[in-house]
Structure 1
Amino acid sequence: MILSTQTVYVFIGLITLIGSIFTFFDKQNLRRWTTGMFYLLYAVTLISGHWIPPFYIGLMVIGIVLLAGLQMVKTGSYGEASVQERLMNRNRFGNKLFLPALLIPILTVLGVEWIGHLRIAGRLFYDPSNVTMVALAVATFIALLVGLGITRSNPITSLRESRRLLESIGWAAVLPQMLATLGTLFNSAGVGDVVAKLLHHVIPSNSLFWAVFAYCVSMALFTMIMGNAFAAFPVMTAGIAIPFIIQHFGIQADRIAAIGMFAGYCGTLMTPMAANFNIVPATLLDLKNKYQVIKVQWPTAVILLAVNIALMYSVARI
């Protein structure tokens, strides 16, 4: 293929690498060396993780964890525009500022649906193993070019802003990769079987409702721990849904799986571990409390979880 998933990782890694260099030279950051090293190690794993032996990647991950755990990662100075300048720019550009943001989902969908299977000289244009991710990366890059065209900004500004956003998120930026790996390890280690054995003594064998209740609530809780419903799904489905709902009561799996994921998403709304959903928006909106998004979302999440339980129970009885 022409554009592979690895190409996307390299592109993201290069942006992170440039940000770490800026950090090393940021004298206003009292932890500039350790902060720069944190993002440098992260960048190396993104750029070269495909080629570096796992043992050495593991050492880098340990280094990343130690730097974050010892609170050696701090924010610095970014030469941001003043509030007055931002207001002037907002009035100057108006609704044009929304165009790059709107282009990302539109171009991603078009990329997946229309270009996903495009071949050039007999080679696939997008990586077939993850068309959506590559399409999203291409859409984001195009949106960046459009944004630079609208604002007439120096491309260096986009790199500085990328660094500012990344450092505002801090150590939580590495959570998606860490948690996805942890979910795979949990599933391979048989955590689902352990959960099944524990719940076997708790869930009444003749009660479909309590089996559904345990599955949905466990999906939400485990998602809160993992920060990702996709990481929780194989563990909780193998431990609860398959033995207690699908096999025991003979319910079709397709009726359970989709609603189970929705129950997991309820947990996503209530956890800081889902940094890309809950911490990043707070950073983008410059909220004083980085948990404000979660505080607003949790009542809705609880209501939706109850709805998912009722929906799964109703669908399972049909």
Structure 2
Amino acid sequence: MLKIEQVYWLLGAFLLFSAALNLRERRLAMAGFWAILACPFLFGEAILAALAAGTRWPAQAMGVGVLALGVMAAHGGLRAHADNAEAIAARRAAASRLGNRLFGPALAIPIVTLALVLGASHLRWQETPLIDAQHSTLAALGLACVIAFAAALRVTRAPVVSGLGEGRRLLDALGWAALLPMLLATLGSVFAATGVGDAIAAIVSAVIPTDSRLACLTAFALGMVLFTVIMGNAFAAFPVLMAGIGLPLLVLRHGAHPAVLGSIGMLTGYCGTLLTPMAANFNIVPAVLLELPDQYGVIRAQLPTALVLLGVNFLLLWLLVFQ
């Protein structure tokens, strides 16, 4: 059975491979960064088992590693080395030769992931499921990436080592920004556990008339956008705003439909994703990969769309959530 732990091990192995290549090229900061980041992927289960047994030093060592990642990122030593003109010309020639066939492996990732998730309940060997049902989406995504990698090797007729080397080059180009989505994904849980939702509820109750449906809904919608801008992730903003405004004020006091509020509320938060550099994987990474002169060019291009979608989502909330 394919488990999420196996996907983590695969990611950790690739990070160690990237660290080894950078070490061979005497790029010590980049090598150290990827080597430290590989540790929680490779040894996460062992760290949790040690904590359960009362041994804290592995988790404390990992905490020191996280601080080291922050120091290395702030120091500015995580810059990808510039390719020479010959390598750039070779890649462009290969891209021209392969043409639209290059899109096949990239499109295989979402297509295979969707197929595996929808068919996970039917993928069995006798009575054993082939994909862990508890983490079927992430496990399917990991398997889809492996399949897409194999398809890319077939299309380009490149050796495995060359494909891994190109993956390392892309990872180096992203640098510390590759880590940001993982950090932001945990931020909402941290905020909710520390009582930020209760603080928001107190502030909102003091500022707006809580007897007004429109005022509470406006605070919820704008709060989803604002916290998504701050956190870079609507998933991180959602538990905070639902705990502070959605459940106590809209659902319990004004009888809002929780499913409608949650689904359209998440879409409203995504409007903030279009507006923030904190959503690095959407807004900063493309600018880096495309070598745009303006690193915020993607955000500026998305601004009109974000505002229109915010208006549409708010209208849908007002029309549907209290039905």
- Alignment partner, residue 22 of structure 2: 23
1:145 deviation in Å?
0.8
Q: Aligned in 2, Cα 1:273/1:242: closer, same or farther, shift over 3 Å?
A: same
- What do residues 264-312 of structure 1 show as CA deviations (whole Å, max 9, x unaligned)? 1111111121122222322333323332211211221122112211211
Q: Write the mapping of 1:1-318 to structure 2, written as runs, cut at 5 A.
A: 2-27=1-26, 32-52=27-47, 53-77=58-82, 82-318=87-323
CA contact (8 A) 1:9 1:46 kept: yes
CA contact (8 A) 2:2 2:139 kept: yes
- What do residues 152-187 of structure 1 show as CA deviations (whole Å, max 9, x unaligned)? 112222222211211221112111221222221111
Moved more, 243-252 or 50-59: 50-59
- What do residues 1-31 of structure 1 show as CA deviations (whole Å, max 9, x unaligned)? x21111111111111111111111224xxxx
CA distance in 2, matches of 1:184, 1:303: 29
CA contact (8 A) 2:221 2:265 kept: yes
Unmatched segments (≥5 aa) in structure 1: none
CA contact (8 A) 2:255 2:322 kept: no
Amino acid at match of 2:18: G
Q: Aligned in 2, Cα 1:288/1:82: closer, same or farther, shift over 3 Å?
A: farther
- What do residues 117-149 of structure 1 show as CA deviations (whole Å, max 9, x unaligned)? 422243221111211111111111111111111
If the length of structure 1 is used for normalisation, what is the TM-score? 0.92
CA distance in 2, matches of 1:81, 1:213: 55
CA distance in 1, matches of 2:228, 2:296: 17
Q: Secondary structure at the match of 1:3?
A: coil
Amino acid at match of 1:51: A
CA distance in 2, matches of 1:41, 1:84: 34
1:96 deviation in Å?
1.4
Cα RMSD (Å) of the superposition? 1.8
Moved more, 300-309 or 273-282: 273-282
CA distance in 1, matches of 2:80, 2:100: 31
Q: Aligned in 2, Cα 1:11/1:80: closer, same or farther, shift over 3 Å?
A: farther
Q: Identity over aligned residues, as a percent?
A: 40
1:77 deviation in Å?
4.7
CA contact (8 A) 1:108 1:139 kept: yes
Q: Aligned in 2, Cα 1:19/1:116: closer, same or farther, shift over 3 Å?
A: farther
1:236 deviation in Å?
0.6
CA contact (8 A) 1:78 1:160 kept: no
- What do residues 181-224 of structure 1 show as CA deviations (whole Å, max 9, x unaligned)? 22211111111001000110111123211211111111111111
Q: Secondary structure at the match of 2:314?
A: helix
Q: Aligned in 2, Cα 1:12/1:116: closer, same or farther, shift over 3 Å?
A: farther
Amino acid at match of 1:300: T
- Alignment partner, residue 55 of structure 2: none
- What do residues 90-136 of structure 1 show as CA deviations (whole Å, max 9, x unaligned)? 33222211111121111111111123542224322111121111111
- Alignment partner, residue 54 of structure 2: none
If the length of structure 2 is used for normalisation, what is the TM-score? 0.91
Amino acid at match of 1:312: L
Moved more, 124-133 or 70-79: 70-79
Unmatched segments (≥5 aa) in structure 2: 48-57
Amino acid at match of 1:263: T
1:261 deviation in Å?
0.2
